[in-house]
Structure 1
Amino acid sequence: GFLDEEIYMEQPEGFVDPDHPRKSHSEAHWTAAKNILKYLRRTKDMFMVYGGNSDAELQVKCYCNAGFETDIDDMKSQTGYIFTLNGGAVVWKSSKQSTTAQHAAEAEYIATAEAAKEAVWIRKFVDELGVVPSNNYPIEMNCDNTTAISMAK
């Protein structure tokens, strides 16, 4: 049939693309969106496993280091650390230390202490996720300064 009058429709607020206000989504877009939702519904019980064994414990390791007096203007040292989860990097940081270390071992100790704080946060985060049955594993901390290691013990 035919319409006796013109009809004007406007997109509801929030559904307009500000970069392309006159563009409307096609049936293909709607079909793709429905397929994505169907896929998510079918795969809601699936998950990614690092290391290939869903029964294995998560293995978190930390590697930390410090650069002594790396900033020539204020003589501050640099902290750097990286955490790996079953071999894949998940957390890393490199920043200037807030205090001035008197020697390299102190700079390393400060870096290790900052990394240890992050390790506590990671442990709590993994526990709250509930992705492993038990979380009694130690987080391995690797530091390359023997004086800083003996200070930590």
Structure 2
Amino acid sequence: MHAKLLFDVLVESSSPLVTLEISENNLAGWLSRVVREPLDSSSFIQPKMPLKSLRELTLRGNNLNKEDAEDLCYILVHMPELQCLDLSDNAIMDGGIRSLIPYFIWALLKDYPLTDIKLNNCNLSCTGVANLLRSLPPLNTPLNTFSVAENELGSFIAAPLAKFLASPGVRKLNIEDVGLGILGFQQLEDQIPKEMALQYINISKNRGGNKAAYFISKTLLYASNITCIKAGGNIMPPESVEVIYRALKESRDSTTEAEYIALFDEAKETVWIQKFVAELGVVLSIADSIDLYYGNNGEIAQAKDPRSHQCSKHILRRFYLIQEIIDRGDVRICRVLTDANIADLLAKALA
């Protein structure tokens, strides 16, 4: 199938496409007849074809090579709303990535930016992926997905990855089986940013040993929204369990601290309103204790007795005013079950 024929069909189609998948075919050379236009052409900004509605393009396993990647660049610019590009299982190599970098820069800065980049098993090297990461423009929001699994990148990819994870970074990162090894995880642990947007990370099959566990512990501490870590095939020794356990415990205690400080602020506001209304003399019952309902056992215990949480000793002493407020009888801290917590109705569903 020639690219010219397929391209003409797409242009003349009256039905705007949103998703297009052409996977597991032998399409090497099929883009070679596409009419090329410069990357600053006005037709890229306002394309007059159904391709402008395309949001997801999947071309997995089509035997595409670096020349095809260069040709593909001249079609991708006709897709201003494209958000997900999957070129996995094509041997485009570093040369193909170099050809696509101008497109990636343009696509990440457009009105509907590219958010998902998947380049698994593309015969990429550390040099090619590092150049791509360094070329990505500064973003206001993190990428949704960046996936370069099953490419032999080696340990030297760790430094560019650590820098990439800094703000705004990425929400889902897949670096399964890229050859990080012990040295790569050590570099990631040393250079990992202290604030990350990560929600999902796959570091499986990298043979990181105990260093993989230490990287996981740092991720748990610095990625506050992390919900999934896949780390199979890293040959972690038994003592790794203790490393990860301590990190899980510390990240849980950090949540207790944040919610305790929020409780402190709400208690202060409640007492101020109580005193103000009492002085007006219009609601006599306002002098009684006011109930504050919370669903976190840790913050309730901390509020009633700060000494009960040794791991929370770093909470500033000024926040312990809430204990005095409780002792005076201004407020009562009451436990509310999740099912009855109307104010936090979606807490469990979203977690």
Same fold (TM > 0.5)? no
Q: Using CA pairs under 8 Å that are at least 6 residues apart, name the structure with larger relative contact order, 1 or 2.
A: 1
Q: TM-score range by the shorter chain?
A: 0.3 to 0.5
Tell me the TM-score normalised to structure 2 length.
0.15
Higher strand share: 1
